[in-house]
Amino acid sequence: MLDIKHLSKTFLKGTPNAHRALQDLSLHLDKGDFVTVIGSNGAGKSTLFNAVAGSFLCEEGSIVLDGTDITYKKEHQRAKQIGRIFQDPMKGTAPDLTVEENLALAYAKSMRNPFASAHRRKDVDFYRAQLARLDMGLEDRMRTKMGQLSGGQRQAVTLLMSTIVTPKLLLLDEHTAALDPVTAQKVLEITKSIVAENQITTMMITHNIGQALHTGNRTIMLASGKIVLDLQGEEREKITLPALLEMYKEKAGKALDNDRMLLSEAE
């Protein structure tokens, strides 16, 4: 489904601050794969997602999504096929538009006529049914402005928005990191069920090693812009959390100075 070949990205190229954020990175995902991505801060995880989504062009390498070369496509063109959620719940929705209007915006990907009404009865009923699945009572608050919802509610709606037209690839960048543990768990469960139901090829960045191991069917670890560990199949099933943590420490090559890491270790 996704084929990344020899991708390299250097920020601030040609300056003393040049930084190779991706180094000759190759990755192949099959259809329906759910890959969790781990790695220390600055490993290049978000950079990898940005490269795939088209926030910038990479100087070397190619990206092929479902047989189409998207290496040089514009961000908004790729967005037709790629759903994306950020860590910051503010980023994924328009705060002054209503819940309904936000969903309509996301659903617009599937509409050919840009001058069709954004409030068709049939569509609104569909949004309501989708919202009801979140089990957060949002189906009764469709006329509420998005900005008035809590972070968790917003993130759940963002999840709906990025999957309401089934994407070929779903990129989740620590999308539960800003939520309280209970809400985070809930949003993760909803994520799993939506992904499973539509068999969406998914990549999820997380700092919670346990979550990384127990979600999806494959786990990769990034360090200095390279994939240093790729666990799948039997090997992944057999590995224990302490063993993976040990590997993480070793491969990351530096002490765990990150609070988030320590917290997830404690779980």
Partner 1 sequence: MEIAANALLLGLQYALLALGVYITFRILNIPDLTVDGSFTFGAAVSAVLSVAGHPFLGLAAAILCGAAAGAVTGFLQTKAGIHPILAGILTMSGLYTVNITVMQAPNVSLIGKPRFYEALYALLPNTDKDVLKTVCVAVICAGLTVALILFFKTVFGLCIRATGNNEDMVRASSINTDAAKMTALSIANALVALSGGLIAQTGGFADVNAGSGMIVVGLASVIIGEVIFGKRSLTLGLISAVVGSVVYRLIIALALENELFSADALKLISAVIIGITLCIPAVRKRIAERRIRRGAQKNA
Ligand X SMILES: Nc1ncnc2c1ncn2[C@@H]1O[C@H](COP(=O)(O)OP(=O)(O)OP(=O)(O)O)[C@@H](O)[C@H]1O
| CB closer to ligand X, 43 vs 194 | 43
Residues of this chain, 235-254, that bind Mg ion according to CB under 5 A: none
CB closer to ligand X, 44 vs 216: 44
19-48 residues in contact with Mg ion (CB under 5 A) are 46
Is residue 164 within 8 A of residue 106, CB to CB? The reply is: yes
Q: Tell me the one-letter amino acid at 128.
A: R
Q: Which residue's CB is nearer to partner 1, number 40 or number 92?
A: 92
Q: In this structure, how many other beta carbons lie within 10 angstroms of the beta carbon of residue 255? A: 8
Q: Which of residues 112-141 bind ligand X (CB under 6 A)?
A: none
Pairwise CA distance, residues 195 & 207, whole Å: 20
Is residue 228 part of the contact set for ligand X (CB under 6 A)?
no
Starting at the earlier edge strand, list the strands of the sheet with 226-232. Answer: 82-85, 169-173, 201-205, 34-38, 218-223, 226-232
**How far apart are the C-alpha atoms of 123 and 77, rounded to whole Å?**
23
Residues 88 and 103: their CA atoms lie apart, in Å, by: 18
Q: Where do contacts with partner 1 occur on this chain (CB under 8 A)?
A: 53, 75-77, 79-80, 84, 90-97, 101-102, 104-106, 108-109, 111, 113-119, 161
Of 4, 33, 34, 46, the one binding ligand X by CB under 6 A? 46
Name the segment binding ligand X (CB under 6 A); options: 43-51, 120-128, 136-144, 189-197. Answer: 43-51
Which residues of this protein are in contact with ligand X, per CB under 6 A?
11-12, 19, 21, 39, 41-47
